[in-house]
Amino acid sequence: MWEIRRFPVLWLLPALLPVALMTLYPVAYALWTSLHSVMLLFPGEPFVGLDNYARVIQSNYFQDALANSLAFTAAAAPLVVVLGTLMALFLRRRFFGVQVVRSIVLLPWVLPGAISAVLWIWVFHPSFGVLNGLLRNLHLIEGSIGWLTSPRLAFVSVVVAHVWTQIPFTVVLVMAALAAINPETLEAAAIDCKSSWRRFWYVIFPEIKAMIVVLIVYNALTAFTSYDLVYAMTGGGPGTATTLLSFQIWRESFSMYDFGAGSAVAFIVVLISAVLILAITRALPSDLFGSE
């Protein structure tokens, strides 16, 4: 009689083979590409070793994209977690129309990135945008502000749009974590702590902090690898003001047709993402997962 224990690899093969085919092969091919000069419009694909890596790291575009990605991550991830947690706390309450409010808050989650980008373009558009219209109606400005064409404002605008798209997922997970807290604990806290802040910090937060850590890591990675919103809203511009590393992968590959350089940037992004996760988890208090 064959036993699963005796041939574990054999039994796993049907699952492992497609995974290997769909994951390992593309990764290996991308690695091969990053070590060759693969330019779609140039003949030949000569081996160039680490030249692609050296060239992209030295280029101004990469340095700008790296700085932007780090700044984008540092701004967006905490904002998403803080705002998402506050909304989740608010939406736990019972009030008239809470279901409607919950649905509205979750709406950005169901919108594809490109659609969200179009919505935000119309918010930030200099002539016809809602924001400039509002500011004009309030007599706060006379002309128009180039939200997407002024480098610094474009960066802020993209962060705002990204945060808006990411909040719903955080809200859902924090609400799930809140629902798992023992109601008796909350009742006792309500009696012992008059201050909402103290109640949150000393009673609720310790119960949901594991989820918060997961959300910080998740949102940091989502922000660091963000692509679609930036592509659709600003095309990485003006100049390189909103060029993130993921966008730079696209630009090297599909705008400059240099798949070698694009693959090199992709591997660098993977490496930095791994370092980022490690740094975040190391920076957090060691007792975070104390119950484990």
The two tokens of residue 174 are 């924090």
Residues 144-203 within binding reach of other proteins (CB under 8 A) = 144, 146, 149-151
Residue type, 239: G
* Nearer Cβ to other proteins (204/241): 241
Residues 246-285 within binding reach of other proteins (CB under 8 A) = 251, 254-258
Q: Are 40 and 257 in contact, with CB atoms under 8 Å apart?
A: yes
Q: Does 241 bind other proteins (CB under 8 A)?
A: yes
The candidate with the shortest Cα–Cα distance to 241, out of 60, 52, 21, is 60
Q: Nearest approach, Cβ of 149 to other proteins (angstroms)?
A: 4
* Nearer Cβ to other proteins (78/235): 235
**Partners of 258 in the β-ladder:** 39
Per-position x/- string for 50-89, each x denoting binding to other proteins as judged by CB under 8 A, each - no binding:
----------xx----------------------------
Q: Nearest approach, Cβ of 110 to other proteins (angstroms)?
A: 24
Rounded CA-CA distance 276/217 in Å is 9
The candidate with the shortest Cα–Cα distance to 186, out of 170, 205, 172, 173, is 205
Rounded CA-CA distance 4/8 in Å is 6
Size of the site for other proteins (CB under 8 A): 34
Rounded CA-CA distance 73/84 in Å is 16
Q: Does 39 bind other proteins (CB under 8 A)?
A: yes
- Which residues would be at the binding site for other proteins (CB under 8 A)? 37, 39-44, 46, 60-61, 126-128, 142-144, 146, 149-151, 235-241, 243, 251, 254-258
